[in-house]
Amino acid sequence: MKSLPIPLIRNLIPSVTLNRINGTHLLKHLENVCEHIALVGRYTKGKSTRRGYISGQVSRQIGRHTGRHSSSHVSSHTSRQLKKVERHKGEGNSTKGTIRRSKLFDQVDEQFDKAVVLLPEFGPSGIIRLLYALQKIKYGKKKRKKNNILKRIEYYLLRDSVNDRVYNFWSHLKINDTILLFRMFIKNNYFEPALLCKLMGEVVYNEDFCISSDVVLFLRSYHIYRCRIKRIKKCKWKEISLSDDCLRKLLHIIVRNKFDHTHKEMCTFFSLFSIYGRILPFPERWEIYSKSIEYVEKTQLGYSPRDIKNFILSLFRINSFLFDGACVPGNDGSLMGVPQMGKKSHVESLSVVNPTLRKLFHLYNKHNTDVRVEDELRILESAVRSHYYHYDSLESILFHIKNNIAQLGLSNGVKFVRLVRKLRNAHSSDAVVHTDACASNTDTKFVRHMLDHILTNCAEVFRT
């Protein structure tokens, strides 16, 4: 599709006609057409020029000429510009305008109405496919149409299917179908509390039948829901949440199954643990952390630079609560091999995470070739906030940001300078506790010199 010209893609009409179609093939055709509409919108986004933009340019040009030329010249100039707009008005329509005028959209709306009537014939997998197709359509100002379809699906799931003596929908619903239904409603931004509570209850009730991939997908969808619901007015939706006991059981399922999932799912699980692991009691928290780190270190070469970046950020979040509530005996043996915490617990707890962090930073700096400066700044900010000042780990990030500081803008540039100053103060003679105890005096002087060099270069950039 990338090799095709944009006007051709914009004017493509699917070969499927939706005027006469039976219920058996309805879902398949709806998926194909909705995928096509989403594909057209993706390839033509930002490529075309709107007519309003051209007309605005014409009016501004006319305004500039008004004070300098006579009325006859202005009228002739205006007529030429308007003819130019009329000549090109059919070429510069946006993608939204093209799709909105198409009869295809009207056919899709009709077939969605037909699909809602045929919900009892679809079963769980069919409803999931219907929600997936609905997600591909961006209704824009017609959100009420989409919400009506979602409400009718909800009414069927919570009321009609319960009273159906021929086909009981919930008795045929499997655990992975339940999780996918929950995810699809979240993806469609439909947060009806009764429906989501019912689906979450089904997942928790059948948690013993979940595999690791199911748990990761469900928790990720749950986290997306928690993030999106906070951006909506509280009066519109009532927020629902999983209990701490349910979250604890779901996290333990993954450890019990010995992380039987893909590398990407492992990265997602570790990020979720860094967010929800705080609710666990310390022994369980330490068990999940130690087993996760052991697995990550064994498989560290299989992760992409983006995954490694997420591991690093997650480790910094975990460090902030890992030893909260730890009861460590004073004798030899610390509980479960955990070092005893002193007064400066944030520094001592970081010493537990340090070896893994250095390995991950080494992999990140070695294999990372395509990176955004904003992402590097986020890593540096998390490191300094967590009192991680190992220069060898942060050197590549520091100089990459310094060389591209113009891309950050003023506010982020000032933030970078403040972070470097904190790093510089940590390597001063009166703050040795924060740095590597094995570093020699010469190494410390070299680090201070390099940080001063970065600060000097940044000051020169701000002056220009």
pLDDT (tens digit per residue) in 117-143: 888 888 888 899 999 989 888 776 677
Per DSSP (E only), the strands in 226-306 are none
Q: Which residue has the tokens 């996918």?
A: 180
Q: Which residue has the tokens 């666990």?
A: 280
286 pLDDT above the threshold of 70 = yes
Q: How far is CA 232 from CA 149, 188, 226, 237, in A?
A: 20, 14, 11, 8
60 pLDDT above the threshold of 90 = no
pLDDT at res. 26: 78
The most confident of 86-95, 178-187, 447-456, by mean pLDDT: 178-187
CA 205, 210, 215, 221 torsion-angle sign: negative
pLDDT at res. 42: 64
Tens of pLDDT, residue by residue over 387-418, are: 898 889 999 999 999 988 888 888 888 999 99
Q: What is the C-alpha separation between 18 and 22, in angstroms, rounded?
A: 9
pLDDT at res. 443: 78
Region 176-198 average pLDDT = 94
Q: How far is CA 293 from CA 81, 315, 318, 353, 405, in A?
A: 67, 10, 12, 9, 34
Phi, psi of 36 (to 5 degrees): -65, -45
pLDDT at res. 102: 62
- Cβ atoms of 408 and 416 within 8 Å: the answer is yes
Q: What is the C-alpha separation between 419 and 454, in angstroms, rounded?
A: 11
Q: What is the C-alpha separation between 381 and 372, in angstroms, rounded?
A: 15
- Cβ atoms of 29 and 21 within 8 Å: the answer is yes
User: What's the pLDDT band for 272 if we cut at 50, 70, 90?
Assistant: very high
> Exposed/middle/buried for 152, CB within 10 Å: 0-12, 13-18, 19+?
middle
Q: Which amino acid is at 86?
A: E
Share of the chain above pLDDT 90, in %: 35
Query: Residue length, the chain?
Result: 464
266 pLDDT above the threshold of 80 = yes
Q: What is the C-alpha separation between 132 and 266, in angstroms, rounded?
A: 25
Query: Nearest CA to 240 among 294, 275, 286, 199?
Result: 199
Number of Cβ atoms within 10 Å of the Cβ of 200:
21
Helix 391-403 to helix 441-463 angle (10° resolution) is 20
Region 105-110 average pLDDT = 78
The residues, ordered by sequence, that sit 6+ positions from 22 with a Cβ below 8 Å of its Cβ are none
Pick from 262-266, 283-287, 442-446: least confident: 442-446
Tens of pLDDT, residue by residue over 333-349, are: 444 455 555 444 444 55
> Exposed/middle/buried for 425, CB within 10 Å: 0-12, 13-18, 19+?
middle
Q: How far is CA 86 from CA 60, 89, 91, in A?
A: 17, 5, 10
pLDDT at res. 193: 92
Global pTM value:
0.77
pLDDT at res. 95: 44
Region 146-152 average pLDDT = 91
Query: Nearest CA to 377 among 402, 350, 347?
Result: 402
The most confident of 32-36, 85-89, 132-136, by mean pLDDT: 132-136
Q: For the chain, what is the mean pLDDT? A: 78
Tens of pLDDT, residue by residue over 416-432, are: 999 999 998 888 755 54
Per DSSP (E only), the strands in 312-440 are none
Q: What is the C-alpha separation between 236 and 290, in angstroms, rounded?
A: 42
Q: What is the C-alpha separation between 55 and 66, in angstroms, rounded?
A: 17
